[in-house]
Structure 1
Amino acid sequence: MSASTSLKPVLPPDIKAMKGNTPVVVLTAYTTPVARLVDAHCDVVLVGDSLGMVIHGLPSTIGVTMEMMILHGRAVVRGAKKAMPVIDMPFGSYEENPAQAFRNASRLMAETGAPAVKLEGGVHMAETIAFLTARGVPVMAHIGLTPQAVNTLGGYKVVGRGEEAEKLMEDARAVEAAGAFSVVLEKVPEGLAARVTQALTIPTIGIGAGVRCDGQVLVVDDMLGLFTDFRPKFVKRYAELGRSADEAIAAYAADVRARAFPAPEHAFPDVLPAKAPK
């Protein structure tokens, strides 16, 4: 049963139970109105640290802060009634040691009401994931291309070709063993993603990882076409809202300059019309 037809909010065990059954549908959201739209159709609404680039115009996710994640996390939780909100842990909030990760993860959950967090990293983050899950923090893992490590990786490239394939498989097995309830595979070759999906007992959520994952996630602004100059290979555009918005704003500007807006029906009279006698 998907989140859109469930009578209760989706929680981590529900997502884990979807392994091999109905594909898990995930989209990002950063505001209450968009969370309400996503909530009607998806199983998970991800408050991604991509908000740094999408909402705040940052060049990468590295500059995103805990305060930003909490602000947007609260907004999304207010709009999500069925789909499960998952909040990204920002760069620098969990890498130092498991205790630091728990302090910040518990803060994210307590101050937003979200039931789970997501963090990046495989084998080297397994101890942290185990520490969190043992203390009541459900974790969605994220391996493959990890955007917070883009400077180390050398760009937003495919991860898992050649000799990297076995390392990625080790990362996948490590986060599963540590207790993650699901794992995002980003920009992973399709065949390798299928192997990982078959090997794990937790759902894999693909983004640029092919159709054989247990679910899919996209940045909502990408799939709605809000950016006219950004077209990643792995994104299918289901609308062209950026183009429509540009046309609407241009029409508005033209009406204002021509004094065609506001028209009489958009204005208030100085005197109210007299009421007809009863």
Structure 2
Amino acid sequence: MHLLKLTFKYIIFLLKEPNYFEQYRTFLLSITENFNQIFDERFTRELLRIYPIRLLVNIGRSIYFVNIQENLSVLDHHTADVGKNAITHNLSAFDNFQTFSIPRVDRLIKPFSSIELLTSNSSILVIGPRSEDDLLCLLGYGFKSEKIKGLDLISYSPWVDLGDMHKMPYEDNSWDAVIVGWVFNYSKAPANAAQEIIRVAKNGAIIAVGIEYNPLTNEEIEKVYGYSIDGTRTQSVAEILSFFGEYVDDVFFSHDIVAKQKDKQSELMVIFSLKK
């Protein structure tokens, strides 16, 4: 955006010059000669911070992997801690691009990316991305693709492993950071999932959790949507932190529900470090 503003200012300046065409020729020549420096890899990656651009990339890649390569897979066996309709609910999102990719992860990744303990070389596990949107968003904030991996009950992407967050296929102390994006509500035992996250995360790892807050009961949700996830209803940031217990160290970011939001659907978010 800053580059565009400077460009328009320069064009206005040139239009006021008597020898405008010579100035314009020089300007275009300088842009051409310095194209790689101006529109470098960082510029291209940062475009992924813009949701409509990221959505187009996400949809294009999903069409290739799901419809052309037919790579969509579902985890055959998962623990009893997974909500009964978790897989069905997430598969239904592939029928509607509005639910297939939801931009709420930006709210969590923006503060996550500002934590100075993280670098572009940090290894990051994203639990429950559904599509590649969360991973593309991380790319937009400068994290390296080879250092990012997703884990989900369903996957079409070589970037996302099939697995259950209650029993993950990773060694102890594997990750510098773990993003748990709106998946604890799909769990009957989020404390068990938290213990597994603690196992695979390194000491001092950054943990970012987002959960949907919904004032409706499971019965009311079932009336609206025809089914419920049969997971856990989390009501506060304090409840999220309680899943991790004594392993919570420094809390860097917290977005809780205040009294005037209690009757509205909203987001619970918290980012903290682990002490093991």
What TM-score, normalized to structure 2? 0.30
Higher helix share: 2
What TM-score, normalized to structure 1? 0.29
Q: Which has the higher contact order (CA 8 A, sep 6+)?
A: 2
Higher strand share: 2
